[in-house]
Structure 1
């Protein structure tokens, strides 16, 4: 993906002797091993460097921060024990949960190296961030929703509209989840300005169609996935696509990864009409959010985001405010977490909230209530259970 990057692979468990030649300035432990994390704490304390402890399982994840300069405060707070993340010991790591936590960890590494604004502060020593798809607010340590047992996605048929930065991470996660059919719609081509954040467009693919290349990439990741490129821009003429699908039956779920309100509006309009769930994601340079429409359980994306049917001048991501890779990792992965809840039949969807990521907020990841204008009339209201 980036040939100029210096990467050293050390095929061993954590060892101070093996790290000595490299002299790391920041340490990250992304294992589910408390023993490995304990060694990292000792190393970080000895050499006075920041340490980030990250762990996940299939539905949850956590990131804990340790800054040895404030070691006394850490000891008093008891957060050295929290750095071990014992609750994840021995568990298999998940894909979308790992994506969310990896994005959060990467952002904290960036903040430890440089800040882009005067209020761009790193997390304080001992800070803990949780992501939990089984928590009603998505950031609770304890699960208050029924655990998801669904791990088999072969029969599902989904559509991703938008093959840009968010679309890359959504497609990557869905392929790793084993979703049976993934159609990808985008009329844009790969530009050199895309490659730093649209990670699956590595190699010499400049000038090729995004939808086509992205379909090829996810088939390389999971050869059992069926994926078809739709090299066209979504318009009001695609009502039949939302209603009937693309030859594999109606879609079980639509992901909107577009960069303008007009496209969101018409996609949502058809989704409401034909009762197709939607997971909508959007990002900026330092933030992002996820909104979800589940027929019968939530208001639609248009109502949640107060969208208007207004055409936008921007025609591709080169002309819009560009996002960066970190918000797209977090939001794209979180969108797939929401997809798992939607595709799991037999449970009530309990998220009339929008999931928000903000690199400048204290908690980084949070949910906020959906505030809908009471004067707004929409067909989705009549379908609420």
Structure 2
């Protein structure tokens, strides 16, 4: 290690039990970071500051103005730029000697095993069930330690998993010992729908990087410990997960992750309940047909997103009736203009098509008794832009 780097981390070297050997362990480590978003950004910042010597970061997205309240490596001037490139520039400024590999692409079943197998630890900062289970399975199949984190609204969870045949007991503890099956896409709302307190992502990322440092330096072994943080009341709770001896270890990955997780009708997200690109394109065409019907006056649009969602991303080309779903508990809560004599078809939209589908399932029959057909906008507003 260079003298400049040792001076940079000098305060860390003063810690009891944390000396040159531990710092060299961080310097020699190669970490794969999946996602440069709300968790990935603060985690990357903290890892670079702590002295992790080599990082590979994978993310196919670009910076959006709605990201930067929680994705702290980005600023307003970075909007439109690849996240991985901006993140790499920022962490190189923190640690000039760091080795950073940027991959502006998605983690997929085709590349996951190779990427995960080639590193010392994986830090999962992704925000979807599909990616989280893909990462966890790839980590188990290659016996790679995995630092796992989730965050939504005011709370989050952190764990260190290490499972697979090449662990100390040839078994270990993995994500599927806690959650055996991948939930469907509507199990919980995503951050765009439910919201997230920006600083909570930094708290969870800090806990994740702490687990990473403890593992790499040998200062603590917390495999299987899940820590939950709730910002409302600043509460921390922990539980220990034991391996399920009846569960067979994962030995590979397949193409099932997106189909199990995707939101019904969501364009570009592995559309659920379809059998390939042909059906995905069919739903996309349906969305455009409904959009045309709205613009030609053959249908009325009902936007059930919350006010802040509409402000950030209006429904392009449609003068819709706005009625946030949070205020609709029965049909009588729907704006009366939707029951006009000339209304026979209503296109219901939300951000992704999930809430609007649930709205139709709940109220569709009552509208039908009034001679009105409800249609869901596949993929939601996000699928149109």
TM band (smaller chain)? 0.5 to 0.7
Larger radius of gyration: 2
Q: Does structure 2 retain, via aligned residues, the 8 Å contact 1:288–1:327?
A: yes
Cα deviation, residue 372, structure 1 = 6.6
Distance across 1 between alignment mates of 2:248 and 2:11? 43
| 1:163 pairs with 2:36 | yes
TM-score by length of 2: 0.54
Q: Does structure 1 retain, via aligned residues, the 8 Å contact 2:56–2:100?
A: yes
Q: Does structure 2 retain, via aligned residues, the 8 Å contact 1:257–1:282?
A: yes
Distance across 1 between alignment mates of 2:184 and 2:126? 13
Cα deviation, residue 202, structure 1 = 1.4
Give 2:23's aligned residue.
151
Task: Output aligned runs, 1:102-251, within 5 Å.
Answer: 147-149=17-19, 150-152=22-24, 153-242=26-115, 244=117, 250-251=118-119
Give 1:10's aligned residue.
none
State the Cα deviation string for residues 160-181 of structure 1 (Å, max 9, x = none). Answer: 0011011011100110011111
Give 1:368's aligned residue.
239
Cα deviation, residue 192, structure 1 = 0.8
State the Cα RMSD in Å: 3.0
Q: Which has the higher contact order (CA 8 A, sep 6+)?
A: 1
SS in 1 for 2:237: strand
Distance across 2 between alignment mates of 1:302 and 1:180? 30
Give 2:152's aligned residue.
284
SS in 1 for 2:23: coil
SS in 1 for 2:27: coil
SS in 1 for 2:156: strand
Give 2:225's aligned residue.
353
Cα deviation, residue 275, structure 1 = 1.3
Q: Does structure 2 retain, via aligned residues, the 8 Å contact 1:282–1:289?
A: yes
SS in 2 for 1:294: strand
Distance across 1 between alignment mates of 2:192 and 2:200? 19
Distance across 2 between alignment mates of 1:264 and 1:188? 17
Cα deviation, residue 292, structure 1 = 1.0
Cα deviation, residue 288, structure 1 = 0.6
SS in 2 for 1:279: strand
Distance across 2 between alignment mates of 1:324 and 1:201? 17
Give 1:263's aligned residue.
131
**Structure 1 stretches of 5 or more lacking a match?**
1-91, 96-133, 135-145, 245-249, 381-385
Distance across 2 between alignment mates of 1:174 and 1:191? 24
Cα deviation, residue 365, structure 1 = 1.7
Distance across 1 between alignment mates of 2:82 and 2:191? 14
Higher helix proportion (structure 1 or 2): 2
Deviates more, 1:294-303 or 1:332-341: 294-303
Q: Does structure 2 retain, via aligned residues, the 8 Å contact 1:178–1:224?
A: no
TM-score by length of 1: 0.54
